Structure 1
Amino acid sequence: MPYRTKIGTFGEDVSKDNLGAEISSEEGDSFWVWIFLIGLLAPIFAYVLFLVQVPSQEHEQQRVEVIENQLLNRLEQIDKNSGELNQEFYTTIEEIEDIKSIIQKLNTAKSYNEIEGLLRKTIHYEADRFIMDEWGVERLTNPLSGFQWQEMTAQFSNKSRSESVRYIKVAGRRSDYSGYHAYFVYQDNSLVLDWQATIGWSEFSFDELLQSKPRRAVSVRCLLKKQPGYEIRLNGTTYSGYLISSPNLDAYTFAYVPLDTHQQIDRNLKDALNYGSFIIKEPPLENKRVTLKISYQEELGKDGNFIITELLHDEWVTPKDP
């Protein structure tokens, strides 16, 4: 007896051959159903895709605008005398390799004569030899040491002239895992170490400053901090107070700015610390590296106090020799 299976709903007996025909017919119907569904859903998918792409395009446009602004900022570094772009504004691979080479030579030098040509020359030339004592433990420049660099500009201006110098600040770890910073500038078309900025050298060491209390203004590389309550009022004048510390934080004292005559200096110091800024929401900087001019005034207060007469730079590199 031929094989027969009941698949119909109306009591029909359908043979195997007819079964194949039924299945083929159903597959054909399913095909057209899928075509209909795809045709119905395709515009919906296209619209959703459009909605997704619009924000992406806006984001890409914003990114392009940021890059354009960065390029415009670079172009503003044009030399106003020649009208040509200062090509040294970009840190190059060659510059980084030169910096690493200088650091390595200082790590292995046995005498000052080996490194004399690698240092920024200043009027305090006789003090250059201190670098051998202050350089300390080997400074590493490999990727595992966290070696990194940043381009910066030191600016100085007064009523008669304006100066600036481009420099490169590098940071990393020593062989004993302590951190370090080093500063490099161009001098006579050669990249050299600004050793004064690197070791935080000052015309007076911090201990000498506290002991000798110089009446004339002297340059000091120090760490700067400000908090509410540092102000004092003496003889009818309000003084804005700052805590200044030695580079290694082992000594400190207060120094003041008279607001009746030096308000601009006070504003510059606060800007360097982001103190009281309504634009930057982050807390004020603490122990910020700055280079100041400081003098001592015996008549200020019972025992005298230090006065800040100038902010040379909000870092330890200065465009002019302090």
Structure 2
Amino acid sequence: MSEGDQNNAEEPIPDGMVRKRRRVRKRRSSSPERSSGKEEANKLFAKAKELLIGMHDEDEDFGPVDVAEQLRRLKRKKEDERPLDDIWGTKKRSTSWLWIILVGVISSVIAVVVGLAMWTSQDENEGDETDFFLGVDEKPEPLEDDGLTWFFDDSVMVLDEAKKTIGMLNQGKDLDEIEKRLRKSDFRSDSTIKFEDWGSSLLTNAWSNFSWSARLVSSSKLTGLKERGYVSLSGKRENGNPFEVFFVQGNENQLVLDWDASIGWSEMSVSQMASELPQDEVFLRCRAGKKPGYDQSFGQDDYSGYVLTGEVSDEFIFAYVNLDRAGGKFIDQNLRLLLNYGSFVSNEPPLQEQKVTLRLRFNSDIGAEGQFEIAEYLNDGWVTP
């Protein structure tokens, strides 16, 4: 304590005050043990650094290094046997990615070339597309009215005229005027017009699901490759049953109802054929279907079988196509196309009860008791060209 402090200590302290004293600590001298510990830590750090550098030197896949490390490696006395790229720190790159890219590019080029080739072939064969679906080798000769041009030129007027004809038949009056609106038929002497054949009145309003569709029908090659456009009208009758009637263009460019096709007229019904077993060929409008179990072998010949139904589903007969006689495979091909049976284009199941027009007869030489034989395929649907 200094003299000033001693003098101040001797002086009396006023009331309410406290005397404070400041103490000064001496600096501690560093011990030898602490200095040696610091040196040991520095040595450990240096060794760890050397170990890391050594690990980097031995790692062949180590990435890019800094300039100082590259200079240190160049100063080595021992010549390194590794490739130069590895010494300078570049990674190894596999060539597998290069092969993958090359294969992808080549595949893309091949796909483009094949696509262009198919596109070109489709353009060249565009006119033969109808022949494929019809199952014929030649294109049918076009009509003077060019198929359905007469309908699409004025479809509103055509549909109005069709509704007028339907209305006249619903009323069942003035038969002479109605006959002028019917298509001429080679079977008119056998197929006389009877209003009872028309059935319950046809509804043509929106609530009866009334609709129309324009179609083309073509006969087979054996029957002359004829073609005709027609309009199908469908909906419901007053009794709730569905209907479908057909209109075509007449000889005088007049819209006419195909009476025979609309009522499904045939020389004999399916039930009559089943009971009478006609030996002569019969003109038949029916519905056809096929399943794998229908095919049979009678004697030395193979037959393709079909089920033919009439107006009601419980009226049916089995009929066969002789695949070993002339024209048999052609008939079977047309029926298969109609039913989409055995098609490689679509995975959809075969169609059933499709309308078709055939010539049929009972052949007593097929099997032990005889079978119905399909003698001719006229056309798909009930409208004849």
TM norm structure 2? 0.59
**Could you say what secondary structure the match of 2:189 adopts?**
helix
**Residue 314 of structure 1 pairs with residue 380 of structure 2:** yes
**Residue 241 of structure 1 pairs with residue 300 of structure 2:** no
Task: Provide the residue aligned with 2:159 in structure 1.
Answer: 96
Flag structure 2 segments of 5+ consecutive residues without an equivalent.
1-122, 131-138
Distance 1:197 1:85, change over 3 A: closer
CA distance in 2 between partners of 1:160 and 1:311 (Å): 9
What is the percentage of aligned positions where both structures have the same residue? 35
> What is the one-letter code of the residue matched to 1:276?
G
Task: Provide the residue aligned with 1:199 in structure 2.
Answer: 263
Runs of 4+ off more than 4 Å: 76-86
> What is the one-letter code of the residue matched to 1:297?
N
Superposition map of 1:14-163 within 5 A: 87-88=149-150, 90=152, 92-110=155-173, 112-158=175-221, 161-163=224-226
**What do you get for the CA RMSD once the two structures are aligned?**
2.7
Task: Provide the residue aligned with 2:340 in structure 1.
Answer: 274
Flag structure 1 segments of 5+ consecutive residues without an equivalent.
1-68
The CA deviation at 1:211 is 2.4
The CA deviation at 1:209 is 1.6
CA distance in 2 between partners of 1:215 and 1:110 (Å): 40
The CA deviation at 1:303 is 1.3
> Once structures 1 and 2 are overlaid, which stretch shifts more, 140-149 or 121-130?
121-130
> What is the one-letter code of the residue matched to 1:249?
S
Distance 1:241 1:176, change over 3 A: same
Task: Provide the residue aligned with 2:320 in structure 1.
Answer: 256
**Could you say what secondary structure the match of 1:172 adopts?**
strand
CA distance in 2 between partners of 1:128 and 1:203 (Å): 9
Residue-by-residue CA offset, 1:214-263 (whole Å, 9 max, x unaligned): 22221100111101110111111110100001122241110000111211
Distance 1:224 1:81, change over 3 A: closer
**Residue 167 of structure 1 pairs with residue 230 of structure 2:** yes
Between structure 1 and structure 2, the one with the greater Rg is 2
Superposition map of 1:219-238 within 5 A: 219-238=283-302
**Could you say what secondary structure the match of 2:383 adopts?**
coil
> What is the one-letter code of the residue matched to 1:92?
S
Select 2:366's aligned residue among 280, 297, 300: 300
Distance 1:113 1:280, change over 3 A: same
**Could you say what secondary structure the match of 2:267 adopts?**
coil
**8 Å contact kept, 1:204–1:219:** yes
**Could you say what secondary structure the match of 2:200 adopts?**
coil
How many residues of Structure 1 are paired with residues of Structure 2 in the alignment? 247
CA distance in 2 between partners of 1:78 and 1:301 (Å): 37
